[in-house]
Chain A
Amino acid sequence: MSSHEHEEEVLAPTPGARVTAFLKRRDVRVSTALGIFFTLVFVLLGWKFYPHWMPTIMSTDMKANEALMVAFTYISAPICGIVLGIATYTFMHRHKGDTPPEDGPAIRTNGPLVVTWTVVTSLFALLAIVWGITELNVGATAAAAEAKSALVVEVTGSQWVWTFNYPSLGIETHELNLPINQPVIFDVVSSDVNHSFWPVQLGVKVDANRLETTVVHTTPTKLGNIDIKCAELCGLYHAYMETSGQIMTGSDFNNWVTAQGGHTA
């Protein structure tokens, strides 16, 4: 596949000399420098962007989500570096004017490069897959372990209000209050169309379906306010299908349950 002139190049000097010559080329050096620059930019972005903009981490799941997004940005930084480094270099050496530039080298392909590129991108993809699967597994294992001790909350999405039922405590509310460090299982249903239950700071999400219970679980790890939103367009007041809640200490939670007329477990 490789072109005629390319083979000649292969034959001439030793591989070491070729690499040295390659690395001494101006375009290689400048592109590499640019590539490193862009890599650093994206590393910086990964370091700052999500931690800065994402809401407070208030559960184990949210922590894992954010860590994953930061890590993926780091992983993709060198890819961005390569793409943007080469692109920027060629852009800097562009040809202006109304006539086409003279022809460049007739490089038809470069077998080893194509293979290397494919292998490397495959490895990156594999890393992402393995990371994701591991994370899923950790979540599933944790859920199984915590299932017995977990507080069950039945979440119902109705056009356009969320309601919460704590069957073990005998209370129903429109606000989602939870005790800290207590595993919680959300059994989510809808009384009409599809909704998506999203307690933002807890980093979990699951759709609410009519007559079909979907389950999601997490463990709140930080005290404070949480927002509960609907993440699936559900008609007229979809935007207003939000409510709030609190992660409370165990005793505060018990007091709240009692005040609501429930019985503490």
Chain B
Amino acid sequence: MTTVEYQVSSRPVPNPAKSLITKLHMGTGMVVGAIFAFGTYFWLRSGEDMTVAHNVNRVLLISMFMWSFGFLIGIGAFIGPFRWLIGKDLTDEEQLFLAGDGQGVSRYFRYCTDHKVVGIQYLVGVMVMLGAGGTLAMMIRTNLLSPGSKFVTPVIYNSLVGLHGITMIVAMIVVSTGPFGNFILPIMIGARDMAFPRLNALSWWVLFTAIPVLCSAWFLGGIPTGWTAYAPLSVQAGPGMNAFIATIIIFAISTAVAGANITATVVTMRAKGMKWNRVPIFVVGATMSVALAIPAFPTFMVSMIMTALDRTVNTTFFDANFGGSGWLYAHLFWIMGHPEVYVILIPGVAILMEIVPVFVRKPLFSYNAAILGFAGISGLSGLVWAHHMYMSGWLPLLNGPFMITTEMISVPTGLIFLVILGTLWRGKPWMKLPMLSVYAFLWNMLIGGITGVYLSDVPADNYLHGSMYVTAHFHYTLMGAALTGAIAGLAYWFPKMTGRMLHEKAGYTAFWFTQIGFQILFLGMFIAGAEGQPRRVADYAHTYATSDRISTIGAYLIGIGMITLLWAVIHSWRKGDVAPQNPWGAKTLEWTVPFPVPLENFDELPVITSDPYGYGRSEK
């Protein structure tokens, strides 16, 4: 077995000696961040009456932001901007150093501008977040194993639900566009790097600083609100809520930076000849996803800033006693919240669309329908938010219009099914791991989509809103469809990202455990919902005991599957079979570059003369 050379570079390792940049890394970032955070905390609290909730909230929130700011200073994120202030910039040598050329593993712990390094950072970060969120899910299901909330108290249960939710949402938003959008996407369009490499590094490290902040919620008493953080409950909540607010604000900055960067890259840096109708579908999907996030997330950020103000300086945005309204929060939240689920879903689907032609050896069926499907979903997703508020009592007259826009989404979603089915039709799919996921997606998205149609219908939502049925529905779409797509992407691009093949047997084992467990878990949850069990309850009547127990068993199977997948990834990364340059025989550009991918990806920039789906024999 040959070993993979992780660093092959003809260039001398840059060494801008004496530059501060060479001395900064994650460790210095954490030290400076901690100094900033604790310094701020102790400085501020000395002058405050810490028995007053508002003061505690203010001190904690500012300390959390100072952690993030301090970390970024400590890792060197602001050296460039600071030089601009004094009319200079980084030297060429320093920039080359920042690109991580020839620095081995250490560059993964630095402020590295190479999109491939950022991609790997995102991949590992996302896996950690999914692992944490999944562990929380196991705790939730364990508590629901039997009635009585015997495993944890309602306080801890509510925190589990909220932190599972937000951890997973954050992880899922970046699960495809983070690792693959950064590592693969620039190569796919024939670019040497992202449009703004330093912003690229910034987006990752900003996101990184949100992780400890979110974790701190546990040590501050948890959050009672679920991930939706509805006001005024969030205004009433204890100090843990500050961690949630700070996380969202930091995360929103990260997504804005990443979104602008990916969009700019795709718009301006495509290879010569790559017209819009020759762009690989994953690139289209990822771009639409991040572009959709750009207008969506600021409203979440604003809602969190308003919550923070209510909690720290006695504003009353959401306090009805003083003319505020909880509905205001619900609107701001869902104006982000519904586009957000498509921010998650679209890139996952796009990955699968990228995979199907390769493994069926047929062109993508109706590329235009795929684009239309994505565009239709993106466009409509901005007009459907109030379907989360049918039962809120806010202007029931508008339920009708929102029902219409929501149900119209089934048409572009139908196009997505058509594209995948049309590509499968008359093909003999090569049943490798990525392809298997396509089938899981078809089933899961079918169930998720159809149950979505019930929920979008006001009369049915009368019964189903706020029940376990809703939880089952959105797990089918977000986990069953989007996460399945992302895992397919991992299996598909693993050879390009690590130089090795993903362990197949372990991959299959993981797949079947996860998917079968998934069906069991959420079938049980659909039943519990139909029976009338509300969401997010620590305890429930004995009526639901059977369906909840079934769900918990399914959850454990998923847990085993996911741990197996983690093993497959770690094992294969370390000593898997060395991958050929193009193991799947795909025609997109990322498979034309060797592993390890050179610093600037291409020796000579490619020229594109057709779309990458030129598979298939002509029929005579």
Contact = CB atoms under 8 A, between A and B. Distances in A.
Interface of A: 1, 3-5, 9, 27, 49-50, 53-55, 61-62, 64-66, 68-69, 72-73, 76, 79-80, 82-84, 86-87, 90-91, 93-97, 100-110, 113-114, 117-118, 121-122, 124-125, 128-129, 131-133, 135-136, 139, 188, 192-194, 196, 198, 200, 203-207, 209-212, 214-216, 227, 229-240, 242
B594 interface: no
Contacts of A55: 531-532
B457 A128 contact: yes
Counting chain B residues whose Cβ lies within 8 A of the other chain, the interface size class is 35 or more
Contacts of A68: 454, 457, 459-460
B73 interface: no
Nearest to A25: B426
Contact of B361 (A83, A100, A227): A100
B559 to A, nearest CB: 24
Interface in B116-163: 149, 154-155, 157-158, 161
A220 to B, nearest CB: 15
Nearest to A4: B618
B186 to A, nearest CB: 26
Contacts of B429: 90-91, 94-95, 101
B149 to A, nearest CB: 7
Interface in B517-573: 527, 530-532, 534-541
Contacts of A198: 466, 534
29 contacts: A3-B618, A50-B530, A61-B462, A68-B460, A72-B450, A80-B450, A90-B429, A91-B429, A94-B430, A94-B435, A100-B359, A100-B584, A100-B585, A101-B428, A103-B361, A106-B362, A107-B365, A107-B425, A108-B365, A109-B367, A121-B410, A129-B403, A198-B466, A203-B462, A205-B465, A206-B392, A231-B391, A236-B158, A238-B154
B361 A104 contact: yes
A55 B467 CA distance: 13
Contacts of B403: 129, 132-133, 136
Given A53-B530, A64-B459, A194-B232, A104 B426 contact: yes
Contacts of B425: 27, 86, 90, 107
B619 interface: yes
Contact of B534 (A66, A80, A230): A230
B11 to A, nearest CB: 36
Nearest to B417: A83
Interface of B: 149, 154-155, 157-158, 161, 224-226, 228, 230, 232-233, 236-237, 320-321, 325-327, 358-363, 365-369, 391-393, 399-400, 403-404, 407-408, 410-411, 414-415, 417-418, 421-422, 424-431, 435, 439, 442-443, 446, 450, 453-454, 456-460, 462-463, 465-467, 527, 530-532, 534-541, 584-585, 614-620
B230 A232 contact: yes
Residue with the highest number of chain B CB atoms closer than 10 Å, among A50, A95, A104, A114: A104
B366 A109 contact: yes
User: Sorted from nearest, which 8 A-B pairs have the closest CB atoms?
Assistant: A214-B393, A106-B616, A231-B466, A121-B414, A239-B537, A109-B366, A210-B320, A53-B530
Contacts of A9: 619
Contacts of A82: 421
Nearest to A103: B361
A29 B536 CA distance: 46
Contacts of A210: 232, 320-321, 326
B40 to A, nearest CB: 30
Contact of A239 (B154, B358, B454, B585): B154
By CB atoms of chain B within 10 A, which of A124, A133, A194, A203 has the most?
A194
A94 B459 contact: no
Contact of A211 (B149, B320, B535, B536): B320
